[in-house]
Structure 1
Amino acid sequence: MAELGLNEHHQNAVINYMRFARSKRALRLKTVDSCFQDLKDSRLTEDTFTVDEVTEMLDGLKVVVHSEVESELINTAYTNVLLLRQLFCQAEKWYLKLQTDISDLENRELLEQVAEFEKTEFTSSGKKANSEIIKPKLAPLNEGGTSELLSKEITRLQDENDKLKARLRTVETQATSALEEKLKLEQFLKDLNKVPEDQKEVAVLEETLAALKADFEKNLSVSTERQKSLQDNLISTKHDLLKVQEHLSLTEKELEKKFQETAAYRNMKEILTKRNEQVKELRKRLSQYETED
């Protein structure tokens, strides 16, 4: 571990990038210096200048310097993006997700630490500044050893993940069906109850429904005995009904017999008998007249 808190391999990569940045910075500074030198060689040929002439020269120099600095800043940003792309591509091959903290880029303490690191690496004894630039390439991913084990583990985890996803889809389907059934039942209950306005009434109805359900479950266990008892009661009632019908029939006969024994019945019967005899006599007479004719 060193000043930046990195291992030797990563620290060497940082040094190479800093060397690349220093070379680009030195080249761009030379370009800026040449802009000033060109101005001196091309315009500063007289002993005196007017204010307008000085203003014109400074404005032209500002445009040139502004363009050079802007170009360098843009190029630096793009090179940083390419560097990040290399790191992210390597991480994605191992299914890693790197994270960055942009706020640390303006951390003054860390910036001073990097500046001190650069000063130590490139100014001490003048050796490292003049050393050859090392251009390492991205190491290929081997198919054996640790890489093979990691690849197999990743494949296994992917298969397990696919199985879990399939199971999750099944559970989601079942949950959706259960939710739809629940919604239908709730809608059915709302239609039955016609949605009471007072929530207390809803609570009372729910309690009543729960009590009825509990009572139903309780009565269901003894339904056989009650059914047998009801059947026995029904048979007994039928017997009682037959007895009552028989009693009514006897009562009716007795009433008819008593009525026949009354004076009114006897008088009516005598009157009917006399009338019948009179009718017979009349018919007999009529039959005599019919014979004569």
Structure 2
Amino acid sequence: MRFAHSKRGLRLKTVDSCFQDLKESRLVEETFTVDEVSEVLSRLQAVVYSEVESELINTAHTNVLLLRQLFSQAETRLYLKLQTDISELDNRELLEQVAEFEKAEFTSSNKKPIVETMKPKLAPLNEGGSTELLNKEISRLQEENEKLKSRLKTIEMQATHALDEKSRLERALQDLQLDQGNQKDFIKAQDLNDLENTVAALKSEFQKTLNDKTENQKSLAENLATAKHDLLRVQEQLSMAEKELEKKFQQTAAYRNMKEILTKKNDQIKDLRRRLAKYEPED
């Protein structure tokens, strides 16, 4: 109420300053027309309306924040469930009591407590008062603590069992790694012997293949030389056969007759050319 009273006082001073500014700025003449008075009042109305509206909005929002704080603290700290009755806000009797309380508070005279007469005291959700509520909360916490202790013991036993199982598995793994190491050494030695035998067999096969290739090359060279000699001999025989055939052809009667005919034809052609030369000019 002190906070609301101070805010209300500031707003009233603002309204008073609006009227005072109007008096000092506009009411400097002796006479005013109706239009001028109407304009002055309209401007004053707009300013006062804005100030009052701002005050009402701010008061409503402030009340909302105040109620939110009180409700939140009551629900989280005291486990109270608060409810509001909007109809009580229009109760004239209670409003008058609040006005009397405010008047007594700020005039420092005739202070009259009205808390008991305004509304009944709020009670916790659980019946029996705050002490019983606290005892129930303590019991609930103790029961939860016992459950947590039991769960912790179970988890510790499980952890111990898991550690033992882990140690056993590690030993088994080490033994298995040793066995695998010995087996790997044996396998490596056996693989090395197999590899050496394979390499020796490959070397022997390669040498054999190389020897066979060398012999094949020699045989091919000899066969090639023989083929060349046979080719030369066949060519010589063909040349001798052609000469012999030509010689025999020249000794035949057909060859001699053809040769005589060709000789006569050549003589006739020469004679014709001599005759034509007499009638044709020289080029």
Give the structure-1-normalised TM-score: 0.39
Which protein has greater RCO, CA pairs closer than 8 Å, 6+ apart? Answer: 1
Asked which structure has the greater CA Rg, the reply is 2
Give the structure-2-normalised TM-score: 0.40
